[in-house]
Amino acid sequence: MTVNDFLLDFAIASLFIMVGQLIRAKVGLVQKFFVPASMIAGFIALALGNQGLNILPFSGSIGDYPGALIILIFAAVGMNGFSFSKKEFKSELDRVGSYFSYKVLAQAIQFAFAPLFGVLVISRLFPEINYGFGFLLASGFSGGHGTAAAVGSKMAELGFTDATDIGMTCATVGILSGIFGGLFFIKIGTKRGWTKYIESFQYISGDLKTGLIRDEDKRGSMGRETVASVVLDPLAWHLALLLVASGAGFLANGWIKNATGLDLPSYLLAFIIAIVMFLCFQKTGVGHYIDNTVISRISGTATDYLVFFGIASIKISVIVEYAVPLLMLLVFGMVLVVLTLMYFGPAMNKGSWFERSLFVWGYSTGVFAIGFILLRIVDPENKSKTLNDTALTGPLTTPFEMFAWSMAPGMLLHGQHWQFIGLYLVIFAACIVVNLIFKWWWIKLPLNRPAEGELK
């Protein structure tokens, strides 16, 4: 890919984001479902791209942009820093600890029960299907297309030649279910008072419906100038800070992988580096010249483009090889993620349970981009602290995930299926037990409970 390809890709994306905003401003049906402009743009580009009419001159790299933009977004979360109150230590521990446990459970429930369903149900009804079939649901739902391809390729090497096609089908269905299922739950949540940062549609203002702020008195500032523009543009200053943290996170990932073989997500390392930069800036006085609003606006811009490219690059040209068992597996998978959202979500998240659980729903059915899309609708300013806690708990949840991706193919196809399933059943049960011990179990609280920070 050349620099010109990069420019053209973002020019096309910008054109469709503009079109998406115009559609949001004028079409009532789109407003009814709170569909963001970037999401509208992504679906139009998907229809016109190489998966549809193939009339858009995108480069072959548009599927790589979401992964890079996620790094920038988490660098922004870290650069905005954090505050920790000793008086609120218990509530901070409850929030982060219970969310960590919930994230692990969301993974374990797919890693354990999808293969279990495959072994006990599908493989008995269809004896020609091996024990690795069920895990392909988790590789597509929880892992997305990239993980589905990796797990499928490994299983293909071990003799399950159709695994890649099945995994990619699961990933495609998962992403579409994540988006439209998420919008469905958002619609219900706004009506029943589960959402805390957007109102029910019937009361929502015209500005929020259309996305256009008509009243000049309601137009807020995008940030303050903390450096003189004659020396350096304030936007360039803030963007430079984020790009330094993002690039450092990417390089750190390469160094760690070469030295130890451990492949940590670059966005987590960028977040950690940004936090270190924030602490250094606070000590040296540089923090006085960083405006959090500007940082947040850059992050928001990156999120919009991430949403666009994440949808526009969805791979829908997947061959369905096993229609009936695959349909059974997908339906069972939807039962698992709905259960994770609607039962374990409010049970394991106290304040702002819906926003936090909906984000986990998003990346439990595809990729982080879907989680960002849904969170951006229900919590556009991250008041629930979901992104902060996701970054903080990420390094702790990664081992559970990486073990599954690396070990499942061999264990499930080589007669160790009960050991693998048993391990994640134990992890699943442990998450519930830990939450009960620490009293992080809030199932008895009403679903329309107050937001994060308001519930004592």
Nearest-angstrom CA–CA distance, 366 and 408 = 19
Q: What is the pTM of this model?
A: 0.69
User: Can you tell me the mean pLDDT for 372-378?
Assistant: 81
pLDDT of residue 221: 81
DSSP output for 333-399: HHHHHHHIIIIIHHHH--TTHHHHHHHHHHHHSS-HHHHHHHHHHH-TT-TT-HHHHHHHHHHHHHH
| Phi, psi for 5 (deg, rounded to 5) | -60, -45
pLDDT band at 200 (very low <50, low <70, confident <90, very high): low
**Is the CB of residue 141 less than 8 Å from the CB of residue 168?**
no
- pLDDT tens for residues 105-149? 999 999 999 999 999 999 899 988 889 999 999 988 987 766 777
Nearest-angstrom CA–CA distance, 388 and 80 = 10
Residue 428's Cβ-count burial label (10 Å; 0-12, 13-18, 19+) is buried
pLDDT of residue 34: 62
pLDDT of residue 337: 94
- pLDDT tens for residues 312-344? 876 655 445 567 888 899 999 999 999 999 999
Nearest-angstrom CA–CA distance, 419 and 58 = 45
pLDDT band at 91 (very low <50, low <70, confident <90, very high): low
User: Can you tell me the mean pLDDT for 342-360?
Assistant: 93
For residue 422, the tally of other CB atoms under 10 A from its CB is 13
**Is the CB of residue 315 less than 8 Å from the CB of residue 176?**
no
Question: In this structure, what token pair is assigned to residue 287?
Answer: 């923090």
Nearest-angstrom CA–CA distance, 96 and 348 = 11
Q: Indicate the domain borders of the chain.
A: 3-54+61-204+300-437
CA nearest neighbour of 189 among 199, 179, 180: 199
Mean pLDDT (the chain) is 85
CA nearest neighbour of 307 among 368, 388, 365: 368
User: Look-up: residue for tokens 């800070």?
Assistant: 241
Residue 57's Cβ-count burial label (10 Å; 0-12, 13-18, 19+) is exposed
